[in-house]
Structure 1
C-alpha cells in the first residue's frame, strides 16, 4: 500500500512491473477505484511498468472538501506522475479518467506519448443532468442513484454475472462527497476545443451497450484527434475491461505494440 503526499492531497497508488519497464498509467471511472483494472492486469504484456491510482475522493486517497474541478484532477495526476518519475507514458483513461487523459495531454505532452480514451467523451452529459444526480446523492447517498447507474454501466447479461454484486458494492462504498466532487468536475468540463488541438497517437474504445458514454460519443471524441483509431466491444457496457477483459486487453495490447512501447 503506497501513498503519495502531493501537498494538498494524498493519493493511493500501486505500481506493478520492472523498474526499467515501459511506463503505462491507468485512470479509472467515477465510483470505482484502481481495482477496476484488475481483470486485465494478467493479460497485459510483460515488461510494462504499470501505475494505477485512486483519484481524490475515491478508494484510499484523501477526501478533500468538494466540489472539485477537472483542473484539480489533472493537476493531481500530473503531480503524481512527476513524483513517481513516470513520463513519456501511454495513458489509459476510462470515463472521467479519459477526461483526465485529455486534459493532461493538452497540458503536459512530455508525460503522455499516446493515450487510450475508453468509454469517455470530450463532454459527458449536461450541467442539468449532473446537478440532478448530485442533488440526489446529497439527499439520499449513492443508494439514490445506484440502480440507474448500474443500468447504464452494465449490459443486461452482466447483471446475472456472479461478480456483478461486487462492482455494485464498490460503487456504493465510494464516499458520497468524493462522487459528487468528481461529478461536479465532469459537469464543468467541455474539452472539444482542447482535444481537437491534440496531436498524438490515440485510441478510442467503446462498449456497444454503454448507456453512460455511448459509442457515438466516443467516436466523435476520438475523431477530433487526427489519426485517432476507434474500437467497439460488442455486448459490453461502460466498463468493458470488466465485462470482456480478454477483448479489451487484445485491443489495448495491439495499440501498445503499435507504439513500440514494450
Structure 2
C-alpha cells in the first residue's frame, strides 16, 4: 500500500507495471475503490505503467467533510500525478472517474495524452436525483440504497445474491464513508462538463455497457457526439461497470485504442 498527502488530503494509490512504459491512470466510480480495475489492470500491466488510486472519500483515501466539488477530485488527481513526477498519461475513468478525467484534461491539457471515458457523460443525473440520494445516505446510510444502486451497476444475470462477486461488491459499496459518497454525489450534481467535452482535442475512446442503468448507451453516445473524432464502443452483456463484468473486452478495447493512437 502507498499513500501520499496531496492537495490537503491523503490518497491511497498503487503503481504497477514497468516504469519505462506509457502511463495509464485509472479512476474509479462512485461507491467503489480501485480494486474494480484489477482484472483489466492484470491484462495491461505487462506493457504499461499503471497508476490506480482511491479518490477522495473512497477506499483507503481520506474523507474530508462533505460536500465536494468536481474540482476537488480533479485537483486531487493532478496533485497525485505531480507527486509521482508523471508528466503525461492516458486517463481511464469510469462513471464519475470519467468526469474526473475530462476535468483533468480541461485543467491540465498537457498532462493528458488520451482519454478512455467508460460509462460516463458530460453531465449525469439531475439535482433532484442527487439531492434525494444525499439525503438518504446521510439519514439512513448507504445500505438503505445499496440494492437499487447495484441493480444499475450490473446486469440481471450478475446481480444475484448467489453470485459471491455480487455480494462482495455490495460490501465494497456499503463500506464507503458517508462523507465520501454523499460528498461525491454533490460533485456530480453540480458538474456540467459540456464545454470541456467539446474542447477536447486528444484521442478519446467512449465505452458504454449495453445494460447500464446509470449512464445508458444513449447518454454515452451523446458524450461521444460532443468530442471531435471520439470512438464509441458498446460492450454487450455489461452494466455500469464493464471493468468488472467484461474485463477482457474492456482491456481489449483499451489496448486497440491505444495502438491506434500510437501509444504503447
SS in 1 for 2:158: helix
What are the within-5 Å matches in structure 2 for residues 145-224 of structure 1? 145-160=145-160, 161-224=163-226
2:90·2:112 contact (CA, 8 Å) conserved in 1? yes
Measured on the aligned residues, the alpha-carbon RMSD in Å equals 1.0
- Name the residue aligned to 1:61: 61
| Greater shift in the superposed pair: 194-203 or 41-50 | 41-50
SS in 2 for 1:113: strand
Alpha carbons of 1:7 and 1:227: their partners in 2 closer, same or farther (altered >3 Å)? closer
- Name the residue aligned to 2:230: 228
Deviation, structure 1 residue 7: 4.5
Superimposed CA distance per residue, residues 131-156 of structure 1 (whole angstroms, 9 cap, x where no aligned partner): 00000111110011101101111100
SS in 2 for 1:204: strand
2:155·2:239 contact (CA, 8 Å) conserved in 1? yes
What are the within-5 Å matches in structure 2 for residues 93-132 of structure 1? 93-132=93-132
Superimposed CA distance per residue, residues 198-230 of structure 1 (whole angstroms, 9 cap, x where no aligned partner): 111001000011000000111111211100000
Match of 2:257 among 244, 255, 258: 255
Q: Which ranges in structure 2 are unaligned for 5 or more consecutive residues? A: none
Q: Structure 1 length normalisation: TM-score?
A: 0.98
Q: Which ranges in structure 1 are unaligned for 5 or more consecutive residues? A: none
Report the Cα distance in structure 2 between the residues aligned to 1:158 and 1:7, rounded to whole angstroms. Answer: 38
Deviation, structure 1 residue 41: 1.8
Deviation, structure 1 residue 46: 2.1
- Name the residue aligned to 2:8: 8
Report the Cα distance in structure 2 between the residues aligned to 1:134 and 1:94, rounded to whole angstroms. Answer: 21
Deviation, structure 1 residue 45: 5.7
| Greater shift in the superposed pair: 79-88 or 115-124 | 79-88
Deviation, structure 1 residue 87: 2.4
Deviation, structure 1 residue 162: 2.9
2:41·2:50 contact (CA, 8 Å) conserved in 1? no
Q: Structure 2 length normalisation: TM-score?
A: 0.97
2:58·2:176 contact (CA, 8 Å) conserved in 1? yes
Matched residues, number: 262
Report the Cα distance in structure 1 between the residues aligned to 2:7 and 2:238, rounded to whole angstroms. Answer: 39
